[in-house]
Structure 1
Amino acid sequence: MPPPTVPPNTSRAWLILGSAFLAFTVGASVMHSYTVFLLAFVADFGWTRAESSLAYSVGQLVGGFSSPFVGNLVDRLGTRRMVLLGAALLVIGLVGSAQAEALWQVVLLYGVVMTFGANCVGLLVFVPLASRLFANRRGMAISVLQSANGFGRAASAPASQMLIAGIGWRGAYLVAAAVAAAVLLPLAFLFDRRGAAARAAAAPAAAGGVEHAWTLAEAIRTPQFWLLFFVYMCTSIGSFLVSLHQIAFAVDVGFDPLYAAGVLGMGAFLAMPGVIATGTLSDYIGREYSALLAYGISIIGVFCALAITGPGDHLLLWLHACFFGLTWGARGPAITAKTADIFPGPRLGTILGVITIGSGLGAAIGSWAAGFIFDVSGSYRVAFIGSIIAYAAGSLAFYALRRPPRAR
């Protein structure tokens, strides 16, 4: 690994990493809470599972296809302005969702407004910064960031379920808006306001010849770029064929909704240590082997879900929650760090943004397909089998990334 451009153990670096973790947690909590609101929409509006999944699927598409734009913006505007923009969009989307009366309104507010806002406080904004602050420990730093996704997902399920049960789904959205504003707006001012500062931080390494500063045009001509795209897509398909409908699946087989949300939420809390462990491990045993371990554990978790037949299978539900939750997002640090390893330089945000289209595309396919499969077959079994196949394909593609590309 190249020497760091900024000392990795300074208090300022850790403060920035912690602030990024908290901001990402808020955005992830807002977006993942849709898994709980889905059942509320079905009960209140009478929508089908596929209709209720539409906003989530649109959100994943928007998240993916807006990634190049967000990556380019963070390279130009800097982290502070992006977090402020994200906070504003999330609050607007949450307050608007509390007033929604039709499917198209939920699709617009969640699928477009809130998704773009969450992208502005997500990995695309913080990974280039963390990669430069912790160049010798990229896997660890990115794993800390990525763990915010699992932590937000774990916290959002039981909290949203309790809020919906207590004050209804409209009131729950308003509470989420207040929390997002109270946390994100102060955090924004801890980050640098200039995009030029990020480019200046990367300049010493490129100027010294330690790393080739890749451009998007160069990266896109390498097979590694498209392998990463495929890995992101397959991983998201595998994850979202299961994750969006986990609570609905558990309720369908007979578990109490609050109990199911609690079990799956507790399992999702394991994502935080799981992501940090696999990301840090990737600094020592290699990105590929760390990711393969995470893929394998996720597959075991999906097999446990396939084995559940009724509300008496408490152990299988807990095993599914723990294995699937432990590795939720656990491949992210290895994949993202691998992207930073392969394509370093001041245009990393833009390159990562384009590759992340694969993640959004896969998430949209997976989340909508699971609802469609249920509507057609009355079961999630085929969706869960598809998740295993997608994970296997992603692991093989990622293992093929062992050889670095050569700049042309």
Structure 2
Amino acid sequence: MNLRPSRQAWLVVAGGFVAFTVSASLMHAYTVFLLAFIADFAWTRAEASLAYSVGQVVGGVSSPLVGGLVDRLGAMRMVLLGGCLLTLGLVGSAMATSLWQMVFLYGFVMTFGAGCIGMVVFVPLVSRLFVERRGLAISILQSANGSGRAVSAPVAQLLIDAHGWRGAYWIQAGVMAVLVVPLALMFRRAESALPAPAADKAVANVTAARDWTLTAAMRTRHFWLLFLVYALTSIGSFLVSLHQIAFAVGVGFDPLYAAFVLGTGALLALPGVIITGSISDVIGREKAAITTYIISMIGSGAALLIHSGDQHVMLWVHACFFGITWGARGPAITAKTADLFGGKRLGTILGVITVGSGLGAGIGAWAAGLLFDLTGTYRLAFWLSMASYGLGAMFFWSLRKPVAR
């Protein structure tokens, strides 16, 4: 039985990578806009973090809806819908004058749009096309998140410096408007090149052998352990990521320099995610994921050692260790989900489990801002990040035994 992916299957991965990179770069740019909002509106750190936090929660809660829609509409229509919503949200953000408007535009409109061009849309299709090299394929998709994050920080900072934050939003809206149709058509061409599902009997036989439903999955211990893993991992990541630039500027680094260093660190997520996903096919999902948890904890711990703007080496250590593992657990966790709960309803199952990721991200991003408002420092947030990573690693390790139906 030949389970090797075809050339057309890799074309689907390439289309998903490009589309996901675009949407991720627009969403991660909020980390740079954060300081501009604080300066212009005099918001507290918790208030400035609110739209981002709401967006993470909405992204998680809406994942079951997105998963159900992609099962019915297909990836091309989802990319078209998502691109239109992102453009609308960016235009509205350029004209926003109050906190509630930014919460609505970023937290709801743009977040749902980005969800239509994200992992929940692409993973179900890719997981059916890839059996032998599933970890690698999903890792390539997941690496788009890190690529978008790496691009967004320096580009957004340059746009804000040159045109102000409103002008930066207008430029982003224009770029997205131009790319909407090409992205959707590109993915349609990739999908149209695929053979009919019935033609790939090898993949169909493997899938049919483990055709899970959402109800059956929710009755297992593994489902809820995965939910906790998604939540704790997001808490650990977003206690740090949203406020990285604000932290660096606060201790004395130049904003553009900080954006460059942290953006360079985020760029390492591209090889980091792909390597993790690839080795997870060889050494197992658990060992690959736990290795990245340890590296992330070192990255968060390095931030605790930064006290002034002349500690360039330590900033690079923090950026690189945290950046190279940004999203690196994603392929292992997502592939593990596909390993455990494969079948026609994987999109719906993955969407429900991803609620944990959204809740964790929202809690982490908002809590870091609140902790700064209460203590005047991000250090407690960094400590909690390390603790969340440790718990996530522990729960993920407990998934190594096969699921019982």
Q: Take 1:184 and 1:335, find their aligned partners in 2: how far apart are those partners?
A: 30
After superposition, the C-alpha distances for 1:286-319 in whole angstroms (9 at most, x for unaligned) are: 0000001100100001111000011111100000
> 2:354 is aligned with what amino acid?
T
Q: Which amino acid aligns with 1:134?
A: F
Q: Contact between 2:214 and 2:349, CA under 8 Å: does it hold in 1? A: yes
Q: What is the rounded CA distance, in whole Å, between the counterparts of 1:222 and 1:240 in structure 2?
A: 28
Cα RMSD between the aligned structures?
1.8
- Name the CA distance, whole Å, in 1 between partners of 2:380 and 2:157: 27
CA change 1:209–1:189 in 2 (3 A) is closer
User: In terms of mean alpha carbon deviation, does 147-156 or 209-218 score higher?
Assistant: 209-218
Equivalent position of 1:65 in the other structure? 61
Q: CA deviation at 1:47?
A: 0.5
Name the counterpart of 1:9: 6
Cross-structure match for 2:89? 93
**Map of 1:21 onto structure 2:** 17
Tell me, in whole angstroms, the C-alpha distance in 2 between the residues paired with 1:201 and 1:343: 23
CA deviations over 1:156-208 (Å, ceiling 9, x no partner):
000000000001111111111122222332121233589xx997688865557
Q: Does the alignment pair 1:178 with 2:177?
A: no
Amino acid at match of 1:406: A
Q: What amino acid maps onto 2:56 in structure 1?
A: Q
Q: Which amino acid aligns with 1:253?
A: V
Comparing 130-139 and 164-173, the one that deviates more: 130-139
- Which of residues 284, 287, 301 is equivalent to 2:285? 287
Aligned AA (2:213):
T
* Rounded Cα–Cα distance in structure 2 between residues aligned with 1:179 and 1:296: 38
1:144-223 correspondence to structure 2 within 5 Å:
144-192=140-188, 205=203, 211-223=209-221
Over 3 Å counting, the alpha-carbon distance change for 1:396 and 1:33 in structure 2 is: same
Are 1:23 and 1:187, in contact at CA under 8 Å, matched by a contact in 2? yes
Q: How far is the alpha carbon of 1:210 from its aligned partner?
A: 5.8
| Cα distance in 1, alignment partners of residues 378 and 283 from structure 2 | 36
Matched, 1:320 2:314: no
Alignment of 1:364-403 (within 5 A): 364-403=362-401
Secondary structure of the structure 1 residue equivalent to 2:158? helix
Q: TM-score, normalised by structure 2?
A: 0.96
Task: Tell me the amino acid that sits aligned with residue 223 of structure 1.
Answer: R
- SS of residue matched to 2:187: coil
Question: Number of residues paired by the alignment?
Answer: 402
CA apart distance, 1:400: 0.4
Aligned mates of 2:305, 2:151 — CA distance in 1: 26
Which one-letter code corresponds to 1:9 in the other structure? Answer: S
Q: 1:38 aligns with which of 12, 22, 34?
A: 34
SS at match of 1:101: coil
Contact in 1 for aligned 2:207/2:343 (Cα 8 Å): no
Alpha-carbon distance between aligned partners in 2 of 1:202 and 1:241, rounded to the nearest angstrom:
44
Shift in alpha-carbon separation, 1:41–1:201, aligned structure 2, 3 A: farther
Q: Write the mapping of 1:324-343 to structure 2, written as runs, cut at 5 A.
A: 324-343=322-341
Give runs of aligned pairs for residues 236-247 of structure 1, distance below 5 A: 236-247=234-245
1:304 alignment counterpart: 302
Relative to structure 1, the CA distance from residue 362 to residue 302 in structure 2 (aligned partners, 3 Å threshold; closer, same or farther) is: same
The one-letter code sitting in structure 2 at the alignment partner of 1:14 is W
Q: Find the partner of 1:404 among 399, 402, 405.
A: 402
**1:71-92, Cα deviation, whole Å (9 max, x unpaired):** 0000111111100000000000
What SS is found at the alignment partner of 1:100?
Answer: coil
Q: Check the 8 A contact 1:60/1:360 in 2, yes or no.
A: yes
CA 1:201–1:241: 2 relative to 1, 3 Å: farther
Q: Secondary structure at the match of 1:118?
A: helix
Displaced runs of 4 or more, over 6 A: 201-204
- Residues 92-144 of structure 1: CA deviation (Å, up to 9, x unaligned): 00011000000000000000000000000000000111112222111000000
2:360 pairs with 331, 339, 362, which one?
Answer: 362
Provide the identity percentage: 64
What runs of 5+ residues in structure 1 fail to find an aligned partner? none
Distance 2:2 2:66 in 1: 28
With over 3 angstroms needed to count, the CA separation of the structure-2 counterparts of 1:208 and 1:336, relative to structure 1, is: closer
Letter of the aligned partner of 2:238 in structure 1? F
Hey, what's the Cα distance between the residues in 2 that align with 1:171 and 1:245?
A: 22
